[in-house]
Amino acid sequence: MIYKILDKNSIPEYINGIPKVVEVLGKGQGLAIEEIGDGNLNYVFKIYRVGSPDRSVVLKQAVPFLRMAGEGWPLTRNRMTYEIRALHAYNDLVPEFVPTVYHSDEEMSVLVMQTLDDHTVVRHSMIHGVIFPNIGHDIGTFLAETLFRTSSLGMRSIDRRRLMDQFNLNDELCKLTEEFVFTFPYMEHESNYSNPATDEFARASIRCDTEYKLGILKFKELFLTKTDALLHADLHTGSLMANSEETFVIDMEFAFFGPFGFDIGKIIANFLLSYTSHFYHSSDDSYQNWLLIEAMTIWKRFETRFLELWDSQGSSAMVAEGFLTGKELREYKMRFLRNILHDSLGFCACSLARRTLGIAGVADIRDISDLHVRSQLEIINIKLSQLLLSMHDKIHTIEQFESTVRTFYANTNLEDMERVK
């Protein structure tokens, strides 16, 4: 089908020809269509049968320009191609954690998928102190299944190169990450966020810290050149929708083959950013404790499930049957997971800094109107980034991570901040 931008008037005809969608929505008149997107990049519509709220789908379409800026700001629709491919891959790998796809169309840059009405965006709920009982466990499972099963441990090399080939040209979005995650925040750049006290601290600390900057480059190099597994590549708390039972991962347009630690480090960083923000949002440390326990659960569950998958696998592209003795294989697995932890902590440090200093902040902190309060929290995040980057290859277990982070926060000095809004 030739590309055209869909709207409320043309959607009924478009979806009418798609049996799977008709199956969900039912036949005939009586559909309602609402635009529900945030309007920045894509069009997102909810389509449902009036009187039957269970009969509902979400239709997402990319347009060839930055929607918030208009047609004068062109942007290719390729991002939807990669989101479609990643969602299909994830539907095979982890159907319980991603919306069911009813229809996809790379030509039209359209996805039609399951509605998530009973779920909220995790970032905003976390600001309000909502507890998601399964979230750490779910994210850990998601990470283990997706990373193991698209790695050289879980996939035949030829199949893996063919899957990789579907994502290799996601170059525009990879470039955004190269620049906005791994470059601009650590130097003076016009795109950066600005808050005077925070800027001053950044200038006096990380931006003149050689080892810190060379550490960032180590992780930038991994991002640019390591193809361990299929990554979501934008796995923050705004890409999660959850309720007390379920967790869904959405918005996978950045997907590509990258280093193991990237998704893990990024999502843990977002839990830590929320932790920091709750010096302001909470009146005591109970929610912060929950956040840290869940962040640790992400890793623990990831590690457990990753090793289970490995144990149940015989020969792999990486380790042929008979190459190692049982004892050697156990040693190899231990070192392998330890390396992933090291890299995850390095990427976590990058995310903490870039979400503090770069253009894309987190609402957890950027939405606090008092600049002085905000800068205190921002400086905490920069210091935590420094600490984790300097320690990333010396923290060998998740328990060492916990004690490092707890000690760090316990020594945090928030002179002027009351633990109340």
Interface residues toward a second copy, by CB under 8 A: 152, 157-158, 161-162, 164-165, 168-172, 174-175, 178-179, 183-184, 186-188, 210, 213-214, 217, 220-221, 224-228, 317-320, 322-325, 327-328, 331-332, 335
H-helix or E-strand spanning residue 185: none
Residue 66 Cβ, how far from a second copy at the closest point, in Å?
18
Residue 227 Cβ, how far from a second copy at the closest point, in Å?
5
Residue 154 Cβ, how far from a second copy at the closest point, in Å?
12
- Give the residue with the Cβ less far from a second copy, 177 or 276: 177
Separation of first and last alpha carbons in the chain: 53
- Give the residue with the Cβ less far from a second copy, 153 or 377: 153
Residue 26 Cβ, how far from a second copy at the closest point, in Å?
43
Sequence-separated (6 or more) residues with CB below 8 Å from residue 294:
132, 135, 136, 271
- Give the residue with the Cβ less far from a second copy, 131 or 320: 320
Sequence-separated (6 or more) residues with CB below 8 Å from residue 224:
178
Q: Which residue has the tokens 């779910």?
A: 138
- Give the residue with the Cβ less far from a second copy, 7 or 211: 211
Q: Which residue has the tokens 């090793």?
A: 307
CB atoms within 10 A of CB 268: 29
User: Given phi > 0 = left and psi -120 to 50 = alpha, else beta, which region is 110?
Assistant: beta
Name the nearest CA neighbour of 142 among 252, 226, 247. 247
Residue 36 Cβ, how far from a second copy at the closest point, in Å?
32
- Give the residue with the Cβ less far from a second copy, 112 or 206: 206
Rounded Cα distance, 113 and 61, in Å: 11
Residue 289 Cβ, how far from a second copy at the closest point, in Å?
37
The structure tokens listed for 200 are 């001053």
- Give the residue with the Cβ less far from a second copy, 165 or 284: 165
Contact criterion met (CB below 8 Å) for 97 and 245: no
Residue 343 Cβ, how far from a second copy at the closest point, in Å?
12
- 10 Å CB burial of residue 99 (0-12, 13-18, 19+) is buried
- Give the residue with the Cβ less far from a second copy, 49 or 392: 392
Residue 236: beta bridge partners? none
